[in-house]
Structure 1
Amino acid sequence: MTRVYAVKKIKKRRSRFGPQQNGHEKELLCHRIASGHRNVLTLHHVIDSGDVLYLVLDYLPEGDLQTSLTEHGSMYRSHPQHIKRIFLQILDAVQHCHDKRVYHRDLKPENVLLKDFGATAVLADFGLSSRKASSVDFEIGSDYYMSPECYGELHCSKPYASVPNDVWSLGVMLFYMVIGSPPWTAARTGCKSFLSFLCDPDFFLRRYPVSAEMNRMLMHVFAIDPTRRMSIDQLRGYVQGISLFTVTESQVRRLRTVMARPPRATV
């Protein structure tokens, strides 16, 4: 039986001494170490042709989670069990990577592939991954998904831990799956939405149709202090236990009416 593979082409950097593989060894090492899990894209072979590296990977023709959310977002939002199934698989993949001391640093729907008619999620693209538990590489990743400490702004450019940085990205991914958009364009004070989040403890309840359960989880996964951010195991427990990610428009209006009332005076 013929098996089909995908091939990723990486052009080596050049110097006056010729093509240089430096910069790609990290991706290859991290991907090799992370391979072997059912929810991680398998790297089968690397072919070095001199100027170019060819990475031989599993071929998954169903596309990525971002495309699926764009084209079938209402299907996800109307079936919370499907969101749970896909997101829990992503958590399993990331936890496997962390157990192997591989930190992805670019977790987003574009880097999650789908197979089995959309029922199975597979983590891909280790181009920005690292084996360092602590990092001083700032603004590494994609704006929507980077944690505030990765921007360096709120934490005075101090070294930041790689695990909670990935957890923050996972929180944004789940929010995207549930709501259909990320909560902000960037987790920095120059972004009005993120600044509103910093100033308003009821930010999500005021702006989005999230349930009280979902709101409680978001406040833990988006803890500004990385040491207080929930772990992947805690995030998994929250997601498994949530009965509703969102509420109806009438429930939203009723909640916002209650929130807008001034507190009762006490005697």
Structure 2
Amino acid sequence: MVPGIEHGRGAAVWQASEENALFEKYEVGKLLGCGAFAKVYHARNIRSGQSVAIKVINKKKISSPSMIGNIKREISIMRRLHNPHTMTLHEVLATKTKIFFVMEFAKGGELFAKVAKGRFSEDLSRKYFRQLIYAVGYCHSRGIFHRDLKPENLLLDENGDLKVSDFGLSALTDQVRQDGLLHTLCGTPAYVAPEILSKKGYDGAKVDVWSCGVILYVLTAGFLPFNDPNLMVMYKKIYKGEFRCPKWMSPDLKRLLSRLLDTNPETRITIDEITEDPWFRKGSKGKLKFYDEFLEINKEEDPSNRSASCLNAFDLISFSSGLDLSGLFDGASSSVTDSERIVVDSAPEKVIERIKGFAAAEKIRLRKRKEWGVDLEGQNGKFLANVEVYRLTDGLVVVEGRRTAGDPEMFRESWRGKIMPAILNRSENQASGSC
């Protein structure tokens, strides 16, 4: 039972007592939705009065390593998103049995509920489609591919503006294989791109564009472009791109849909090309301020342009032993999670150079994982670890060493007796402290 909720007939009701509130911070109200692994409740921040949505995940239902990975990935993705048309994750809380995602509350509900009442005009469809492309383009620029775009995952705020939600099936660029493609089969059947069905790998950005095309069709037609009671028949229609546009659609809209629902991902329209399309830009004078100016702002905000990884509030939470989300899954995975961390007054590149020097002196094999991360392997496989460097402030970095395999005691002895002194380079009087 979630604290602060009365279970009985009808919707749950607000609890006025702060003592009964969730973490003494949120009054939890009615149930908004229920899935296989989570429930979403409307709630209110007691101190600020702000309405929020709280997604409650039962740990017992996510015991498999793949599901655990999805939860961690969803947190990692949502903490990257700061956009008017994507849902905001305020904080992540946890008890011994549950995980709580505290998110922004979309008062207008699902876009699906509105289009289910009847198709939209092209002008209204254009408004939502523009906001959808704005959000999807932003996600792609941050290395995030949604992979489950559909009207049920598009919410509306109190002003009627669109918010993309549910990043549980999303992928990051680091999941792309050496062939440059993603390979996980996922998505909702009616919205899935044909290249996913071929099982040969796919480009995450291009399958999102396909799903945007299906959404635009649904908004303007009032029904799905590919549909059949027999799932295999529907998949054949998708694979062949067999759909018809209703006669009420304008020629420009039909032309755009044909490019969005192009079965060849190589010739399918791109996000940048969509923003130049006549139907998309109809009614706008010159530049579309909401999209074009965003592109320039986003270049400045993109963390990939920084010289080293930076820590935000969610990183610091995960580094805290009291709130370490990886600890929520103890016993659920056999993976090794021993880790040590230190704060160092040094530049990231200097830390990496010191680690390389240590590896060379100890005859330990070193493999670069990314710009500020390395894998270490030595002692005939008895010692395996990776080291990551995160920028904390302009003058400080956090260095995390994590045992990936091998003897735990050997890892701790090597870290504290050799690696940490090498990183600190005490002869230079580097300031340090435990994290």
TM-score, normalised by the number of residues in structure 2: 0.48
The residue correspondences of 1:48-197 to structure 2 (distance < 5 A) are 48-71=94-117, 73-74=118-119, 76-77=120-121, 80-118=122-160, 120-132=161-173, 133=176, 134-138=181-185, 140-152=186-198, 157-185=199-227, 190-191=233-234, 194=237
Structure 1 residue 196: Cα displacement: 10
For residues 3 and 195 of structure 1, what CA distance do their matches in structure 2 show? 43
Compare CA radii of gyration and give the structure with the larger one: 2
Amino acid at match of 1:2: G
Structure 1 residue 183: Cα displacement: 0.3
Q: Is the 8 A contact 2:93 2:100 kept in 1?
A: yes
Structure 1 residue 214: Cα displacement: 1.9
Who is 2:264 aligned against?
A: 225
Change (3 A) 1:82 1:210: closer
CA-to-aligned-CA distance 1:196-253 (integer Å, 9 cap, x gap)? 9647xxx525x5533322221122111111111111121233232458xxxxxxxxxx
Amino acid at match of 2:149: L
Q: Is the 8 A contact 1:64 1:114 kept in 2?
A: yes
Structure 1 residue 22: Cα displacement: 3.5
Change (3 A) 1:208 1:50: farther
For residues 65 and 242 of structure 1, what CA distance do their matches in structure 2 show? 22
SS at match of 2:80: helix
Q: Is the 8 A contact 2:80 2:142 kept in 1?
A: yes
Change (3 A) 1:176 1:62: same
2:256 maps to 1:240: no
For residues 192 and 81 of structure 1, what CA distance do their matches in structure 2 show? 31
Who is 1:3 aligned against?
A: 50
Aligned residues: 224
For residues 158 and 61 of structure 1, what CA distance do their matches in structure 2 show? 40
Structure 1 residue 90: Cα displacement: 0.9
Q: Is the 8 A contact 1:204 1:210 kept in 2?
A: no
Structure 1 residue 85: Cα displacement: 1.3
For residues 267 and 232 of structure 2, what CA distance do their matches in structure 1 show? 20
Amino acid at match of 2:167: F
Change (3 A) 1:216 1:163: same
Who is 2:63 aligned against?
A: 14
For residues 81 and 96 of structure 1, what CA distance do their matches in structure 2 show? 23
Root-mean-square deviation over aligned CA pairs: 2.6
Change (3 A) 1:26 1:84: same
Task: Report which stretch shifted further, 47-56 or 169-178.
Answer: 47-56
Structure 1 residue 59: Cα displacement: 1.1
Q: Which runs of no fewer than 5 residues in structure 1 stay unpaired? A: 244-267
SS at match of 1:183: coil
Q: Is the 8 A contact 1:183 1:193 kept in 2?
A: no
Q: Is the 8 A contact 1:84 1:240 kept in 2?
A: yes
Structure 1 residue 151: Cα displacement: 1.6
Task: Report which stretch shifted further, 164-173 or 55-64.
Answer: 55-64
Q: Which of the pair has the greater relative contact order for Cα pairs under 8 Å at 6+ separation?
A: 1
Q: Which runs of no fewer than 5 residues in structure 2 stay unpaired? A: 1-47, 284-435
Structure 1 residue 105: Cα displacement: 0.4
Structure 1 or 2: more strand by fraction: 2
CA-to-aligned-CA distance 1:100-135 (integer Å, 9 cap, x gap)? 0010000001111102342x1011110100103521
TM-score, normalised by the number of residues in structure 1: 0.76
For residues 166 and 109 of structure 1, what CA distance do their matches in structure 2 show? 13
For residues 141 and 261 of structure 2, what CA distance do their matches in structure 1 show? 22
For residues 244 and 77 of structure 2, what CA distance do their matches in structure 1 show? 35
Structure 1 or 2: more helix by fraction: 1
Who is 1:37 aligned against?
A: 83
SS at match of 2:113: helix
Counting aligned pairs with the same residue, the percent is: 27
SS at match of 1:7: strand
Match of 1:210 among 245, 249, 258: 249
Structure 1 residue 182: Cα displacement: 1.1
Who is 1:28 aligned against?
A: 75
